[in-house]
Amino acid sequence: MIKTVKEIREDTIFNLINYTLLFAVMLIILYPLYFIIIASISGPNAVALNRIVFVPIDFTLESYNNVFKNSIIWIGYRNTILYTTFGTLFNLFLTIPCAYAFSKKDLPGRRPLLFIFTFTMYFSGGLIPTYLLVKSLRLPNTPYVMMILGGLSVYNLIITRTYFENSIPHELYEAARIDGYSEIGIFLRIALPLAGPIIAVMTLYYAVGHWNSFFSALIYLTREALYPLQLILRNILLENQLLNIDWSALSDEDAMMFAERSKMVETMKYALIFISSAPVLAAYPFVQKYFVKGAMIGAVKG
């Protein structure tokens, strides 16, 4: 079909407006991250005076030096990597088989079991009963509490179950049964290899959750050698904050020193955000393509 000059002009105007809006949205999303980076490498005075807009001012890496001079930060990186790796594997070990089982409509007691799982999304025992349970299992002050606690997300379970139901043809399962495969064999040789996209998405979801986790460590860990990175960064920031200082009792030299330190704390905040976010940002592009497939979960096919 040949378009008229008017239709071509209308398409051009539409594309121009569309690309302009998309570019504006991209800038709104990317600018906060860009600002964090340039603020973390700018001078403390420029950051404190809100002079940072588009480019770094008085380039310096002093904020990163102040963070990394604390050797325990490397212990936090090591702990967080271990918690994230083994915790994510444990999450997948529970989520993937459970979702596959719930995708079977002939599963005995499927509806009551789904109701029980879904009920826990809205109602829980609360912090104190959970702490008492964790304490009775002797998990506080052990690395296992950071890996095992919250081992299954019902929300992720429902997403994964939907993928198994809608994205893998049921005829494949029937053909595998004709060939003599057991249910476990069908799961390992048919369902699991075809579930690569959802496994990648769940891996990212769980890994980000473990990487950013600090509240569980705050509640269940008192040994600094077991602290995850997020909790260590939080403590570093709190240690450098100026709290309850009687400025009137300070000499001019001490007041100036504390004022400079206060400015450095503002710069360190941005450095800490970037340090804690960089590994996740680096890993995201490798699984981003799977979100396109994940967005189609449950869509009408025909």
Q: Where does the pLDDT of residue 302 fall: very low under 50, low under 70, confident under 90, or very high at 90 and above?
A: very low
Q: What is the pLDDT of residue 96?
A: 92
Nearest Cα residue to 142 out of 214, 226, 228, 215: 226
Q: How many CB atoms lie within 10 A of CB 145?
A: 21
H runs (alpha helix) in the chain = 5-40, 44-48, 62-68, 72-102, 110-122, 127-136, 144-148, 154-167, 170-178, 183-186, 192-194, 196-212, 215-220, 229-240, 252-294
- 74 has pLDDT over 70: yes
Q: What is the pLDDT of residue 178?
A: 84
Strand residue runs (E) in 18-162 = none
Number of alpha helices (DSSP H) and beta strands (DSSP E) in the chain: 15, 0
- 86 has pLDDT over 90: yes
- 156 has pLDDT over 70: yes
Report residue 219 CA to chain centroid gap: 20
Find out whether 186 and 176 touch, Cβ atoms under 8 Å.
Answer: yes
- Which is more confidently placed, 2 or 152? 152
Q: What is the largest CA-CA distance in the chain?
A: 87
Q: Where are the domains of the chain?
A: 71-240
Please report, as a single letter, which amino acid is at residue 129: P
Class in CATH terms, 71-240: mainly alpha
Distance CA 56, CA 129 (A): 49
Residues 6+ apart with CB under 8 A from 65: none
Q: Model pTM?
A: 0.76
- 278 has pLDDT over 90: no
Handedness of CA 208, 158, 95, 220 (dihedral sign): positive
Residue with the two structure tokens 């002797």: 138
What is the chain's mean pLDDT, rounded? Answer: 80
Average of pLDDT values for 31-56?
82
Find out whether 72 and 224 touch, Cβ atoms under 8 Å.
Answer: yes
